């Protein structure tokens, strides 16, 4: 067997251009993909981010991702470096630190295994550079060479960066030049030669490790301080799928929930309080609760996120709580005056920690039970 096989001749498409188009993939997966609601799932397929994120404790979350593709260069060692870098960088993109990896390899059994060894050597060296332990993998025979990794990393759940929460007006910082795909396509079609775009390959094999450190140092995070409450699921019968129903408390400052006491309204309130207090720390959200209903919210009284809780016939305590809330509003108005009077702008630009304040007022009036949720 010859060791100098031309890798690019083995692939019809290379790199990310080999992916199934997103619209076709979504159409195929929607009828069969149903996610269970779990308040610890911080990033999933619904929001299309670089990796999945699952909270395992108050200060730790696991990040998991996978990526593999056909050759983008002729050199096996360089291809291994690029493929491994691409997989590992998905962890960095979420603000995490990669730790473990598994190789994913497809290789023609007729070709020299020396080529495979060089591909894996490139991946191993890049993993070592990132501080990642390659603990195994899976290899099958295939007519087209493909290589990549499944990678696991860790991060603080309150410091996860997601692109899905980016908003109009946010500044985009590029850590690498744009146009990699165009250069590769031009090379594959003979318009340019491989040695004409060596700087492109250099960028492709460069880890985003340094960029991630800078991003975390300056608290560049779209997930942080986005307080979303999970309140259930809703059906999409046309696509035979269920979606997680979330409410963004940052943007929905006032919410009114109607319902009979002890039924759907209670479940909705429970879900809002439980999902936000398990997903976010006390530095991100605090609640003040006025329960003039069945006192069912008393079960949350020992939660550290609950600043105070008032029930019926506690008039003096109610007066004190209302005065305190009024003082908080007054203080925050002064604090936000230089930030367009907006909490979200203050958090993003000041880099200071300030919890969102949720005020829940639950009352029963004749046949209608109402709960007000106001976020400050």
Residues with a catalytic annotation lie at 16
Token readout for 319 is 């007066």
Residues 20 and 71: beta-carbon distance below 8 Å: no
The runs of H, that is alpha helices, within the chain are 22-29, 76-93, 113-130, 180-188, 198-204, 209-217, 264-279, 315-336, 343-350
Q: Are 133 and 101 in contact (CB under 8 A)?
A: yes
Number of H-type helices and E-type strands within the chain: 9, 13
Residue tagged 């050759």 (tokens): 71
Pairing of strands 356-365, 241-248: unpaired
Residue 253 CB partners (closer than 8 Å, separation 6+): 374, 375, 376
> If DSSP codes are grouped into helix, strand and coil, which group holds residue 82?
helix
Q: Edge to edge, what strands does the sheet with 146-155 contain? A: 41-43, 52-57, 60-69, 146-155, 97-107, 133-141
> What is the Cα–Cα distance from 176 to 208, expressed in whole angstroms?
9
CB-based contact 175:214 (threshold 8 Å): no
Bridge partner list, 373: 255, 360
Query: Distance between CA atoms of 243 and 235, rounded to whole angstroms?
Result: 6
Helix (H) or strand (E) holding 57: strand 52-57
Q: Are 111 and 30 in contact (CB under 8 A)?
A: no
Buried b / exposed e over 285-317, threshold 16 CB at 10 Å, is bbbbbbbbbeeebeebeeeebbbbbbbeeeeee
Structure tokens at 182: 């165009």
């Amino acid at each position: 067997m010859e060791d100098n096989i031309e890798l690019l001749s083995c692939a019809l498409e290379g790199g990310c251009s080999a992916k199934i188009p997103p619209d076709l993939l979504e159409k195929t997966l929607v009828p069969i993909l149903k996610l269970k609601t779990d308040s610890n799932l911080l990033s999933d397929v619904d929001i299309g981010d670089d990796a999945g994120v699952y909270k395992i404790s108050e200060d730790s979350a696991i990040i998991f991702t996978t990526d593999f593709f056909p050759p983008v260069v002729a050199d096996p060692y360089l291809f291994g470096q690029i493929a491994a870098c691409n997989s590992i960088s998905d962890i960095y993109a979420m603000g995490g630190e990669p730790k473990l990896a598994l190789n994913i390899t497809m290789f023609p059994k007729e070709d020299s295994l020396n080529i495979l060894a060089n591909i894996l050597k490139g991946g191993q060296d890049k993993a070592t550079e990132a501080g990642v332990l390659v603990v195994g993998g899976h290899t099958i025979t295939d007519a087209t060479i493909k290589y990549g990794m499944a990678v696991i990393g860790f991060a603080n759940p309150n410091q996860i960066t997601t692109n899905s929460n980016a908003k109009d007006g946010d500044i985009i910082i590029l850590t690498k030049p744009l146009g990699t795909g165009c250069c590769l396509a031009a090379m594959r079609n003979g318009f340019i030669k491989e040695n004409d775009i060596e700087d492109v390959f250099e960028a492709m094999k460069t880890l985003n490790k340094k960029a991630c450190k800078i991003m975390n140092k300056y608290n560049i995070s779209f997930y942080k301080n986005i307080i979303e409450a999970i309140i259930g699921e809703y059906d999409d019968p046309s696509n035979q799928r269920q979606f997680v129903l979330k409410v963004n408390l940052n943007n929905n400052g006032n919410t009114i929930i109607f319902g009979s006491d002890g039924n759907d309204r209670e479940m909705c309130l429970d879900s809002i309080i439980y999902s936000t207090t398990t997903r976010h720390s006390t530095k991100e959200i605090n609640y003040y609760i006025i329960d003039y209903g069945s006192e069912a919210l008393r079960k949350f009284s020992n939660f550290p996120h609950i600043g105070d809780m008032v029930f019926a016939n506690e008039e003096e305590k109610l007066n004190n709580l209302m005065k305190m809330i009024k003082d908080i509003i007054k203080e925050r108005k002064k604090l936000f005056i230089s930030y367009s009077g907006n909490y979200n702008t203050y958090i993003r630009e000041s880099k200071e920690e300030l919890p969102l304040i949720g005020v829940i007022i639950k009352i029963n009036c004749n046949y209608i039970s109402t709960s007000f949720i106001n976020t400050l």
